[in-house]
Amino acid sequence: MKKTIFSFLAFILVCGFTLGQNLSPKKGFYPIQKTKRKMTQLAKNKMMMQGQEMTMVTNMDMYSTINIQNPVSDSQKISITFNKIEGDIEVMGKKQTIPDASKTFTPIVLTTNNSGVINSISGSPELLKQMEQSYSGSFQVSKTFTQFLNIKSIKNIGDSWLDSNIDGANIMITQYTFDRNENGNAILNFTTTMTVQSDMNQNGIIVHSDLLGKMSGTMNIDTKTNYIISTNGNINLEGRMEMNTQEIPVNIISTFNDSIIK
């Protein structure tokens, strides 16, 4: 169960955080602030094993505190503290509650320079290791932690631009479109094309995944600070897993929300 929790957390973190992987911040340090966030994800995983369809539904809420600290010299630290993680996993109709894993995580600390580039990441080594492996293949972990960074300058409604995260066979290309203004905030639409390969060690068994699909949704941006207030999206991935020389067709359908709650 612990491995399952770490793997799924890595999955929702990668999916939520990779949005904006190359969205450039304005030059300079980030405004000092402390916010609480909530990330929710509902994922349905279908696999065909020995001619029988197996389903797994995972529902999880993760509460965290983001603390952007005072700059020191030419660097600034951003800490992510996991306050509460709750949810359940249902496999073939049998549901099991996921125990709160937040107490097992130390805060993750990002160190950035005055251009917003992440120079180092520390804390929760097991979770960071899973993030490097789970569904993200060899995507650099530093590119998954940019939900806290400022969106590049948005000028006109209708503007579109592309961002990419490419590392070997793993490709994420996202198109963002400035859709409209709403209550003084900018609403962006995004569509991400994903090609994902990964190798995960599950209890000593290497599980190789080849997945293709899309992620799409909307982002709410504070136009005064360019911070991402919330992201809503859905993911649809299809492909195969190889385990013990057995090839297993896989389909993952997921919805997620990440937002500031305080």
- Give the orientation angle of helix 2-17 with respect to helix 125-133, to 10 degrees: 70
Count of CB atoms situated within 10 Å of the CB of 169: 12
Q: Is 34 exposed, middle or buried (0-12, 13-18, 19+ CB in 10 A)?
A: exposed
What pLDDT score does 139 carry? 46
Residue type, 35: T
Region 195-219: what's the mean pLDDT? 82
Domains, the chain: 2-255 (2.30.230)
Kindly report the backbone phi and psi dihedral angles of residue 161, in degrees, each rounded to the nearest multiple of 5, phi listed first. -155, 160
pTM above 0.75, yes or no: yes
Contacts of 75 (CB under 8 A, 6+ apart): 111, 112, 113, 114, 119
Nearest to 211 by CA among 182, 171, 245: 171
| Least-confidence region, from 17-31, 60-74, 170-184 | 17-31
pLDDT at residue 52 in the model: 80
pLDDT tier at 211, thresholds 50, 70, 90: confident
- Is the sign of the CA dihedral 2, 140, 20, 226 positive or negative? positive
Average pLDDT over all residues of the chain: 78
Residues 6+ apart with CB under 8 A from 87: 58, 59, 60, 61, 97, 98
**Amino acid in the structure at residue 214:** K
Q: Which of 78, 55, 82 is nearest to 68 (CA)?
A: 78
- Element of type H or E holding 127: helix 125-133
